[in-house]
Chain A
Amino acid sequence: KNEVEQSPQNLTAQEGEFITINCSYSVGISALHWLQQHPGGGIVSLFMLSSGKKKHGRLIATINIQEKHSSLHITASHPRDSAVYICAVPSGSRLTFGEGTQLTVNP
């Protein structure tokens, strides 16, 4: 079993839909990262959270430490949200990544 598992692997949505991407992990952690990777490879850190919920624009990240589960939500999705979304958990200073969720938002 991988330390970090994401679902779904692929997600296609229509513009305006509410999106949820899930991440489960098997180890105790101090924080969890959500990353976004656009075609071409550039990675941007979206959130780092250790408890509760964080919101940035249309993006919301939640984490339940007891259940070892985090979700990334996108409200009112837009074609520019099309990207790969990756969750990652630290072990010391190293990060272990989920396999990523390929999101495609159609106009």
Chain B
Amino acid sequence: KAGVTQTPRYLIKTRGQQVTLSCSPISGHRSVSWYQQTPGQGLQFLFEYFSETQRNKGNFPGRFSGRQFSNSRSEMNVSTLELGDSALYLCASSLESGGAEDIQYFGAGTRLSVL
């Protein structure tokens, strides 16, 4: 079974631009969660999608958004990029429960640099 696939792996953008990151979960997994990891703040939860619906959201500004498609693939979008958005963005998939009672399987991440 293929693992969680994130594309692209690396991305360089400038301030003010927008970016879209993609995550393909493990086949059969319906929950996709997104996380941001920075040296200063560590790992932080962005949002979680299940059956095309956002089920949970972290404390991030509205510039961060996401969606999930009927095949469970998910995208996250960051608009009006700021220098502080430079981070490793990780997605994780699980069968049903997100982080509650399922093991999460992580992708390799997308490393975003904002110049």
Contacts and interface: CB of A to CB of B under 8 A. Distances in A.
A41 B111 contact: yes
Contacts, number: 71
Interface of chain B, helix or strand or loop or mixed? strand
A88 B44 CA distance: 11
A8 to B, nearest CB: 15
A90 B35 CA distance: 14
Contact of B98 (A35, A45, A94): A94
Which range contains the number of B residues in contact with the other chain?
20 to 34
Interface in A25-66: 30-31, 33, 35, 40-45, 48
15 contacts: A31-B101, A33-B99, A41-B108, A42-B106, A42-B109, A45-B106, A48-B101, A48-B102, A90-B99, A90-B100, A92-B100, A94-B45, A95-B33, A96-B45, A100-B43
